[in-house]
Amino acid sequence: MTFLKDSGRFPDMTLPDVAERILLESVLKQKEDGKREEGDHVISPFEMEAVEKRLIDLLESANRQNKDEIEKLIQRFTGLEPSNALVFALIDFYLRMKDADRASYWLQKLDSQSLKASSNLIDDVFLLWSAQRGPRTPWRADEVFRTISSLIRDLDNSTSAVNTLTFKLMLQIWSNSEDP
């Protein structure tokens, strides 16, 4: 917890007093095991969960003016595996920001089971792609479509991985483009 405050990653995060005791016990256990050297910083699962919940709250209330600040916070999670709840919040945030690339990036971070259960979310991302214009739009949307289809298809070996609306949106994206 002190690492998060000292590093400036999450300076105004407050945790209950019991969190300091849990962190202290964790650090002492790591030192006993010889896994932690001086200067190394480890985020406990408890801290990670608290940080994710705080970030989800921020994402839900963020607007276009906060986009750069949110981007900086997300970059601090590099190398960590976010929970599905955080990924869903990130997708929703980027959908509100009309950023199809970032929404697609996070959509592809969902596991196959969550993707299969999120057909409306997939449709929302491709609806956003269909509103985009540019020479790379159909190609990037097609790449995302193939990746998501493959992930879902691998889950249950079915022939159809996405719903008909997604197919319709992909057809619309290609027909609106100037590419063959």
State pLDDT tens for residues 12-47.
666 555 555 565 555 555 544 544 444 555 667 777
Distance, in Å, from the CA atom of 99 to the CA atom of 158, rounded to the nearest integer, reads 30
Determine the pLDDT at residue 122.
Answer: 87
User: Model-level pTM greater than 0.75?
Assistant: no
Residue 119 contacts residue 160 (beta carbons within 8 Å): no
Determine the pLDDT at residue 89.
Answer: 92
Cα 126–chain centre separation = 17
Alpha-carbon dihedral sign for residues 12, 13, 16, 19: negative
- With a cut of 70, which residues of the chain have pLDDT below it? 1-43, 155-161, 179-180
Residue 100 contacts residue 134 (beta carbons within 8 Å): no
Determine the pLDDT at residue 103.
Answer: 92
Taking every pair of Cα atoms in the chain, the longest distance, rounded to a whole number of angstroms, is 64
Determine the pLDDT at residue 31.
Answer: 47
Distance, in Å, from the CA atom of 107 to the CA atom of 58, rounded to the nearest integer, reads 19
The rounded mean pLDDT for the chain is 76
Show the tokens assigned to 82: 């976010």
For the chain, first and last CA: distance in Å?
Answer: 55
